[in-house]
Structures are given as C-alpha cells and as structure tokens.
C-alpha cells in the first residue's frame, strides 16, 4: 500500500501500490466536471463556479487486457472552509444539502445512467455521500471514444469544515472496486474502505 497524509483534515488515505501518479492531461480530464467554486456567498447554499478544489491525489492504472485497454483513475480533492458558504459551516443539514448535488452533479454526464439513488454511509462517524453512474459518455468533439462502458463514482464528506471529494472512474469492474477498496482514516485509528462493498454492474463490461 501507498499512504497519503493530510494534516488539514487529519486524513490518512491508503491505496494500492499498483496505482501510479497520473499525468497532467489525465488530471485535467478527471477534474473537468468539478462543481467547486472559487468564492462563497454569505447567503448561498452552494459553491460558485470556479476552481476552488485543491487536488490532493491523482493516481490510476492503464493496462492492456484481452478486450483492449483497461484504465482507471482515482482523484481526491480538498475544499477549504474559505471556499464554502458560511451558513453551510454552521449546520449539518445545510452541509448535507450542499454535498448531495456535488455527488449527483458529478455523475450527470450525457450517455451515463445513474446506478441507483444518491446514498449516505458512515466512515468513522462521518457522513459520506455517494452516487455512481454507468454508460458510454458522449464526447464534446466529433471524435467519439471507443464504445467501452464506463463507471464513475463520486463520494463527498465534510471533515473539520473541509469537504473531501473522491472521483473514481474506470472501464473495468475489477479495477474500479480495487480503487474503491482504498482505506480511509480520519484519526480514529481504524481505517475503513472508501466504499463499503463492491459496485455490481447493471451494465456488463
């Protein structure tokens, strides 16, 4: 395992050693649908358009399989309290209302279908919002990618007035679940999986 520690959110994140740093282009692709904003409005319940999220980690894997190229990307962001609406920092209900569109909006891509509804689970007592989608995303250019089914999963959690967001995407179910099995510790000392279980594929790879 490789380990990333971030003092701002007392986070220790452990991920498989075969996941390697991604290049700048892969990182740009992974962050292109971010909904984080650069400024916050005193009376707003949401972040504003812009670039407020700080990338803590971007790793992945590309390999040749029997059915073509297998790839996966795991990206982790931190959004600092200064980037968030002040009213959200004072209310768990308001924070939950902010986290939900961060994960649902991140999976709203043309050609992708939601895998179930947005859900919430606990990691060491912190409420993690989760949503996933599967399909064949439509490219913004005339050049379409190969017809490979993909899965994208978004997770968002509020920790010490920060928001930590993970985006995990792959065209291979085994690799996707390999990344989702990464371990998270917010200081309790007993790491838990990033996602508690395995994503079942309604759409076959």
The string of pLDDT tens digits covering residues 165-198 is 999 999 888 999 999 999 999 998 899 999 998 8
Ordered domains of the chain (ranges, CATH): 2-193 (3.40.1000)
In SS3 terms, the chain reads as CEEEEEHHHCEEEEECCCCEECCHHHHHHHHCCCCCCCCCCCCCCCCCCCCCCEEEEEEEEEEEECCEEEEEEEEEEEECHHHCCHHHHCCHHHHHHHHHHHHHHCCCCCCEEECCCCEEEEECCEEEEEEEEEECCCCCCCCCCCCCCEEEEEEEEEECCEEEEEEEEECCHHHHHHHHCCEEECCCCCCEECCCCCCCCCCCC
β-pair type (162-170, 68-79): antiparallel
Residue 51 pLDDT: 53
Which pTM does this prediction carry? 0.81
Residues in the chain: 205
The one-digit pLDDT tens for each residue of the chain (205 residues) are 999 999 988 899 999 999 999 865 555 454 444 333 333 344 444 444 335 778 999 999 988 877 678 889 999 999 998 888 888 888 889 999 999 998 988 777 767 787 888 999 999 999 999 999 988 776 655 544 555 788 999 999 999 999 999 999 998 889 999 999 999 999 988 999 999 988 765 433 3
Question: Residue 27: exposed, middle, or buried by beta-carbon count in 10 A (0-12, 13-18, 19+)?
Answer: middle
């Amino acid at each position: 395992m490789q380990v990333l520690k971030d003092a701002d959110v007392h986070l220790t994140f452990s991920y498989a050693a075969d996941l390697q740093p991604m290049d700048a282009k892969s990182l740009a692709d992974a962050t292109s649908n971010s909904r984080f904003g650069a400024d916050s409005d005193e009376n707003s319940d949401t972040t504003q358009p812009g670039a407020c999220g700080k990338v803590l980690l971007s790793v992945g894997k590309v390999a040749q399989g029997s059915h073509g190229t297998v790839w996966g990307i795991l990206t982790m962001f931190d959004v600092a309290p200064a980037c968030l609406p002040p009213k959200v920092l004072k209310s768990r209900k308001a924070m939950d209302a902010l986290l939900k569109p961060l994960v649902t909006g991140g999976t709203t891509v043309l050609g992708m279908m939601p895998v179930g509804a947005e859900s919430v689970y606990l990691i060491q007592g912190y409420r993690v919002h989760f949503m996933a989608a599967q399909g064949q995303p439509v490219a913004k250019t005339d050049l379409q990618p190969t017809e490979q089914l993909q899965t994208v999963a978004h997770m968002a959690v509020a920790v010490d007035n920060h928001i930590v967001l993970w985006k995990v995407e792959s065209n291979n179910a085994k690799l996707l679940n390999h990344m989702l099995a990464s371990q998270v510790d917010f200081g309790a000392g007993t790491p838990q999986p990033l996602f508690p279980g395995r994503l079942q594929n309604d759409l076959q790879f």
